Amino acid sequence: MKLSVFWFRRDLRLEDNTALNQALSSGLPVLPIFIFDQNIIEELPRDDARISFIYDRLQLINRELNKKESSLKIFKGQPVRVWENIISNYEIDQVFINRDYEPYALQRDTEIRAMLSKKGIKTVECKDQVIFEGSEILKNDGSPYSVYTPYKKRWLQRWGQHPPQPVNLTDYSRFLPSRYPFPALSEIGFHTSQIKV
């Protein structure tokens, strides 16, 4: 059975999630996944507050998906290796992600997008984390602003012309029916932080 995959990253929410909404509108069942990226987490302290926060959000998402007879598939590893595993186990038509702007994420996403493309899998990237991307607010000559006040004026002008609208989930029934086991935090190599985020 062909399906779409939605990859949760910085967007740990079901509401107002652009790429997730697009995935659910794709007409195919949607497999929601999250990858604990070893390139990021291997150097972190075992009680890292960020990991505890992420884990708590993932549990919340999984509980909501369980109400709809679905679940979140959690992976841990090098993202390219994880995607190789996913591709070998599922017939994927498209992968939906919200764009990430960090240097490591840009490199990772380029590598994974190329790998998916070689397998005939389309990657759909959406703007979700920002209101306007860098290339959307430019001077009349097409160059970026170097002074804040003119940038702010152009930003507010664009906002007035194109205010963003919230994105609401179209159809929860499009999530792939599943009951994947949800790993304990210790299985990922961490324990709960005493610092609450």
Q: How far is it, in rounded angstroms, from Cα 56 to Cα 9?
A: 14
Summarize pLDDT for 13-70 with one digit per residue, the tens. 998 899 999 999 999 999 999 999 999 999 999 999 999 999 999 999 999 999 999 9
Instruction: Provide the pLDDT for residue 136.
Output: 85
Q: How far is it, in rounded angstroms, from Cα 119 to Cα 114?
A: 9
Instruction: Look up tokens 């930003």; give the residue.
Output: 155
Q: How far is it, in rounded angstroms, from Cα 4 to Cα 11?
A: 17
Q: How far is it, in rounded angstroms, from Cα 49 to Cα 122?
A: 34
pTM, 2 dp: 0.90
Query: What are the angstrom distances between the C-alpha of 4 and each of 75, 116, 168, 179?
Result: 17, 13, 18, 17
* Closest C-alpha to 177, from 32, 63, 70: 70
Tokens matching residue 154:
């152009």
* Closest C-alpha to 183, from 19, 71, 70: 71
Contacts of 29 (CB under 8 A, 6+ apart): 1, 3, 4, 174, 175, 176, 177
**Position 119 confidence tier, pLDDT thresholds 50, 70, 90:** very high
Of 3.40.190.10, 3.40.718.10, 3.20.20.140, 3.40.50.620, the CATH number of 2-130+171-188 is 3.40.50.620
Summarize pLDDT for 60-110 with one digit per residue, the tens. 999 999 999 999 999 999 999 999 999 999 999 999 999 999 999 999 999
Tokens matching residue 187:
């299985």
Other CB atoms within 10 A of residue 151 CB: 15
Is residue 55 within 8 A of residue 193, CB to CB? The reply is no
Residue 70 carries which DSSP code?
A: B
Domain definitions of the chain by residue range: 2-130+171-188
Summarize pLDDT for 130-186 with one digit per residue, the tens. 888 878 889 999 999 999 999 999 889 888 888 877 777 667 789 999 999 999 999
Q: Left, alpha or beta for 21 (phi > 0: left; psi -120 to 50: alpha)?
A: alpha
Tokens matching residue 127:
């703007």
